[in-house]
């Protein structure tokens, strides 16, 4: 992919504006992207969906056969270099395939787990010999992979793992002991990326094969959802791992574990967004057909509001995902042949805040969509015969996968504060500029320009975020890291800004290229997302400020924020939502 802009670093959207030409959007997909998308879509529709019941009933032999069929089609190979049997494609392709398989329930979980966190550690941190041995088989589906990090006493605090590794006297094998739990694909995996502490304290990564002596599996977990993916404990009892299967360096396993999870979060956001589209489509089919009180459920204004709200949320999620895909491609696109693990780790961490937002916003979008879609089904939505029942159950895990949404939220403001502490950004100076702008009312709505009001409102939201960040730090100082209630709200403000900005910039870019008449739906979506965000931001700021400030200072800050945001009071929201819903009805699916 052609470079879009200079790397401004992860989280830079919190400090400065971005221009439409600097972001990647779904409208920028190439013919090659579209070709792979068609292949993936045909595979899911023709090969996976017809066997949905068998997959849900845990026919894992069928899941494995489907994974191997996906390998034959190249759908497991997009993120593996060509020299090792892969396609060596960009992160946009990775996301696009993840989006399409994301709506296939348990199969999609197995597929995405294999192509992402089970394969990428070897792709980026393996030796040439490890890559040559494993990657061709993982690209073809001959080998299926799993990722073993979580332990009974180490979930969100992954580095608290107690699994140990010691070198045997002959120096030929590491001997691993410990138990990993909730391991996706465990029941049918050939390779396991296992994290253990060498000599009890050096957190390290290993490639462990299923037939290595000492590896066994616990029973299949009886899960609420994603039943089509195997989830079992992996038990290591004096498991013998050849020294050449050490992945990366001793004591540097955290670089692999945490950085690969960034890509996992990015990929999970795509899967959730794709699943949201599928669930909305199922809801539309139901409400456009079923009648109550002499008219279809779709005809009721309350239904149109629900559909518009879901469509706007998906539009924002889609805009976030492809924007982040462009950023990741800039950071990682030239690293398939790199051997400098320090550089690889740095680049993989570059957009950690954006990847965290993909995961949080995507998973919460899906939860909202499945909940509203089930509601629109009425009692039918509670019956297994209807697809939305399974989707509702499958959705819930996504707020826990790849680091809980709470952990990912805490990452956002703390990343910014750590950069400020290291002196890599002038956060204090930027906060002062933001406060000055708010006090002087200097944000210009730029009447008459494309989405001028919306872009000015984005700058005001950014200023409000910075004001709140400065107020919180002034209140708590270095102890702010312990003030999780405050950090969570700052994270919500950051997520809201990124979502709204991504939606508005995407619409502006499309309007500039195609004209306003051709992009009326995107314009309506962007304005709708922005208006919803303004209301959300005002509520969150009130919650934050009334929680940490007292007396006149509390009133002064609230007055300043209120004056800033009231300049962009929404109007005509009911009519706009109805127009969005009608466009979606006509398409019979999400459209933009």
The one catalytic residue among 354, 402, 519, 538:
402
Nearest alpha carbon to residue 194 among 223, 237, 227, 225: 237
Domain 253-400 has CATH 1.20.140.10: yes
Q: In whole numbers, what is the pLDDT of the chain averaged over residues?
A: 95
Say what the pLDDT of residue 61 is.
97
Say what the pLDDT of residue 159 is.
82
Say what the pLDDT of residue 2 is.
43
pLDDT digits (tens, 9 = 90+) for 27-81: 999 999 999 999 999 999 999 999 999 999 999 999 999 999 999 999 999 999 9
Say what the pLDDT of residue 355 is.
97
CATH of region 12-144, choose from 3.30.460.80, 3.30.465.10, 1.10.540.10, 3.90.1300.10: 1.10.540.10
**CA-based torsion, 20, 26, 27, 31: positive or negative:** positive
pLDDT digits (tens, 9 = 90+) for 422-469: 999 999 999 999 999 999 986 666 667 899 999 999 999 999 999 999
Say what the pLDDT of residue 4 is.
41
**Distance between CA atoms of 98 and 435, rounded to whole angstroms?**
41
Overall size of the chain counted in residues = 592
Portions of the chain given CATH number 1.10.540.10? 12-144
Say what the pLDDT of residue 7 is.
41
pLDDT digits (tens, 9 = 90+) for 529-572: 999 999 999 999 999 999 999 999 999 999 999 999 999 999 99
Portions of the chain given CATH number 2.40.110.10? 147-247
Residue 6 has pLDDT above 70, yes or no: no
Portions of the chain given CATH number 1.20.140.10? 253-400, 406-587
DSSP track, 300-346: SHHHHHHHHHHHHHHHHHHHHHHHHHHHHHHHHTT-TT---HHHHHH
Domain spanning 147-247: CATH superfamily: Butyryl-CoA Dehydrogenase, subunit A, domain 2 (2.40.110.10)
Say what the pLDDT of residue 8 is.
64
Q: What average pLDDT score do residues 135-155 get?
A: 95
Q: Quick one: tokens of 147?
A: 């990722």
Percentage of the chain exceeding pLDDT 70: 97
* Domain with residues 406-587, CATH architecture: Up-down Bundle (1.20)
Say what the pLDDT of residue 443 is.
64
pLDDT digits (tens, 9 = 90+) for 356-378: 999 999 999 999 999 999 999 99
Task: Kindly give, in sequence order, each residue whose CB lies less than 8 Å from that of residue 70, ignoring residues fewer than 6 positions away.
Answer: 43, 76, 111, 141
**Residue 566: in which H helix or E strand, if any?**
helix 551-566
3-state secondary structure of 204: strand
Q: What average pLDDT score do residues 467-473 get?
A: 97
CA 403 to chain centre: 11
Q: Does 402 participate in catalysis according to the annotation?
A: yes
Q: Give φ, ψ of 442 to 5 degrees.
A: -90, -5
Q: How many helices (H) and strands (E) does the chain have?
A: 19, 10
pLDDT digits (tens, 9 = 90+) for 190-206: 999 999 999 999 999 99
Residue 157's pLDDT band (cuts 50, 70, 90): confident
- Range with the lowest mean pLDDT among 151-155, 293-297, 319-323, 371-375? 151-155
Residue 233 has pLDDT above 70, yes or no: yes
Pairing between β-strand 164-167 and β-strand 191-198 as defined by DSSP bridges: parallel
Q: CB count, 10 Å around CB of 200?
A: 10
Residue 236's pLDDT band (cuts 50, 70, 90): very high
């Amino acid at each position: 992919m052609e470079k879009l802009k200079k790397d401004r670093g992860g989280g830079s959207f919190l400090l400065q504006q971005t221009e439409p030409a600097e972001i990647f959007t779904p409208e920028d997909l190439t013919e090659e992207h579209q070709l792979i998308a068609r292949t993936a879509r045909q595979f899911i529709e023709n090969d996976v969906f017809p066997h949905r019941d068998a997959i849900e009933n845990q026919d894992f032999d069928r899941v494995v056969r489907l994974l191997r069929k996906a390998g034959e089609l190249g759908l497991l190979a997009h993120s593996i270099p060509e020299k090792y049997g892969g396609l060596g494609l960009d992160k946009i392709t990775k996301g696009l395939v993840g989006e399409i398989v994301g709506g296939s329930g348990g199969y999609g979980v197995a597929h995405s787990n294999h192509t992402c966190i089970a394969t990428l550690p070897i792709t980026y941190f393996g030796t040439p010999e490890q890559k040559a041995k494993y990657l061709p088989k993982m690209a073809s589906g001959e080998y299926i992979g799993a990722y073993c990090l979580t332990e009974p006493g180490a979930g969100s605090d992954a580095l608290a793992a107690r699994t140990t590794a010691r070198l045997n006297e002959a120096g030929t094998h590491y001997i691993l002991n410990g138990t990993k739990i909730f391991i996706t694909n465990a029941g049918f995996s050939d390779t396991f990326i296992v994290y253990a502490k060498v000599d009890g304290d050096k957190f390290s990564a290993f490639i462990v094969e299923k037939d290595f002596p000492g590896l066994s599996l616990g029973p299949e977990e009886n899960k609420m959802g994603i039943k089509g993916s195997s989830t079992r404990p992996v038990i290591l009892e004096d498991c013998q791992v050849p020294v050449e299967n050490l992945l990366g360096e001793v004591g540097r396993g955290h670089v692999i574990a945490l950085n690969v999870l960034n890509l996992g979060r990015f990929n999970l956001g795509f899967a959730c967004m794709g699943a949201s589209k599928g669930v909305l489509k199922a809801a539309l089919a139901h409400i456009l057909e079923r009648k109550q009180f002499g008219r279809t459920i779709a005809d009721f204004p309350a239904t149109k509001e629900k559909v518009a709200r879901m469509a706007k949320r998906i539009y924002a999620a889609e805009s976030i995902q492809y924007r982040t895909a462009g950023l990741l491609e800039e950071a990682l696109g030239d690293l398939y042949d790199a051997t400098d693990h320090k550089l690889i780790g740095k680049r993989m961490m570059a957009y950690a805040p954006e990847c965290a937002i993909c995961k949080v916003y995507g998973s919460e979008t899906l939860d909202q969509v499945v909940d509203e879609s089930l509601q629109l089904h009425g009692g039918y939505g509670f019956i297994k015969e209807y697809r939305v029942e399974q989707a509702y159950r499958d959705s819930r895990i996504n707020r826990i996968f790849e680091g809980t949404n709470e952990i990912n939220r805490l990452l956002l403001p703390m990343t910014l504060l750590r950069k400020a502490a290291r002196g890599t950004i002038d956060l204090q100076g930027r906060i002062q500029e933001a406060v000055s702008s708010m006090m002087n009312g200097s944000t210009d709505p730029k009447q008459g320009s494309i989405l001028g009001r919306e872009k000015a409102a984005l700058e005001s939201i950014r200023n409000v975020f910075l004001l709140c960040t400065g107020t919180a730090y002034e209140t708590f100082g270095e102890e702010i890291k312990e003030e999780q209630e405050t950090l969570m709200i700052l994270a919500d403000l950051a997520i809201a800004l990124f979502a709204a900005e991504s939606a508005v910039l995407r619409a502006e870019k499309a309007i500039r290229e195609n004209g306003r008449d051709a992009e009326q739906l995107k314009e309506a979506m962007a304005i709708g997302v922005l208006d919803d965000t303004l209301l959300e931001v005002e509520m969150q700021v009130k919650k934050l400020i009334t929680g940490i400030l007292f007396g006149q200072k509390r009133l002064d800050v609230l007055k300043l924020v209120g004056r800033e945001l009231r300049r962009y009071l929404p109007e005509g929201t009911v009519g706009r939502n109805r127009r969005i819903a009608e466009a979606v009805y006509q398409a019979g699916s999400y459209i933009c």
